[in-house]
Amino acid sequence: MRQIESSTCFGGRQIRYRHDSETLNCTMSFGVYLPPAAEKNKVPFLIWLSGLTGRDNTFPFLAGAQRYAAERGIAIVTPDTSPRGEGVPDDPDGAYDFGLSAGFYLNATELPWQKNYHMYDYVVDEFSTLIVNELPIDSARQSIFGHSMGGHGAITIALKNPGRFRSVSAMAPICNPMDCPWGVKAFNNYLGPDRATWRQYDATKLVATSEERLPLLIDQGDEDEFLEEQLGLDELQSALSEYDYPATVRMRGGYDHGYYFVASFIGEHIDFHANYL
C-alpha cells in the first residue's frame, strides 16, 4: 500500500494509494478521505462505489463530499470500478459500458474476464481487509453507498453480506441489471448465458432472500436519461413492497444522471449514514 498523493482538505486529508492486488492480478489505486477526527481515534467509514466510466478518484474530485465527512467525523474510501493495467482485457469495441471502468462489482466466470474481473471479492475481501488493517478506521462501523453501476454494487453487496454494514444508500442505481441493456451485456460476457447465475448480482432478486432489513435510501432524478431503459427502479420498488423491505425512495425533480445530481444530495446521504454509524 503505497501513498501516491495527499492533500489537506477541510482539515483532514484526501489521500490516494496504490497496491498490488492478488484478487484482480493487477495494480490498483484507491482513494481515502480521513477527517480531522482520524488524527486521534479510529473513525467510522463509508465505502463509495462509482459508476460506469468512473475511477477511484472520480468521486473525490466531483462529489464535494469531504466537507460533510469532515463535519461528521466519517472516513470515505473509494475503490476503482474495474481492474486496470497491461494485459487486463477491455471491450473489443472500446465501449464505455463494459470492460475497463465497468467491472459491475461481480466475480467473472467466463474467459477472458475471469483472470482479472473479480470486483466483488476485491471490494468485500481484499480491499476491505487492507484498509481496515492499514488505516485509522473502525471495522465495526461501516456503511456502503454508490452511484449508478456503483449503486447496484452497493445494494447487492449489502444484501449479500448480512451483519457487516450499518446502512446502505444509492443514487440512480442500476436496480434490475438482469433486464436492462447494460446489465445483460455485462452479465452475459462476465457470467455466461445461464441467467440463473445472474440473480446473485441483481438487487431486485436479492431482496427476496435478504436476511436483514438494513436502512436503505435511494435518490433518483426524474430527468435521468437512463431511468426508463437502464435503471429498473420500478422493479426494485415492487420487490421492496412485496417482501416488506422498508426503504426511502425519493424522486428528485429536474435532476439527471450526472455528478451535479450526486453533488446536490451527497451531504444528505452522509447525514443518513451518520445516523447509524
CA-to-CA distance for 219 and 244, rounded, in angstroms? 19
Query: Is 224 designated active site?
Result: yes
pLDDT tens digits for range 118-155: 999 999 999 999 999 999 999 999 999 999 999 999 99
From 56, 80, 202, 224, active-site residue: 224
pLDDT of res. 123:
98
For the entire predicted model, the pTM comes to 0.98
pLDDT of res. 125:
98
The low-confidence residues of the chain, meaning pLDDT below 50, are: none
Which backbone phi and psi does 213 adopt, to 5 degrees? -120, 80
Cell of 156: 447487492
Give me the domains of the chain, ranges plus CATH numbers: 2-275 (3.40.50.1820)
From 128, 148, 167, 169, active-site residue: 148
Count the alpha carbons within 13 Å of 223 in the hemisphere toward its beta carbon.
7
Query: Is 56 designated active site?
Result: no
Cell of 221: 432524478
Query: Is 93 designated active site?
Result: no
CA-to-CA distance for 168 and 154, rounded, in angstroms? 7
What's the distance, Cα to Cα, between the start and end of the chain in Å? 26
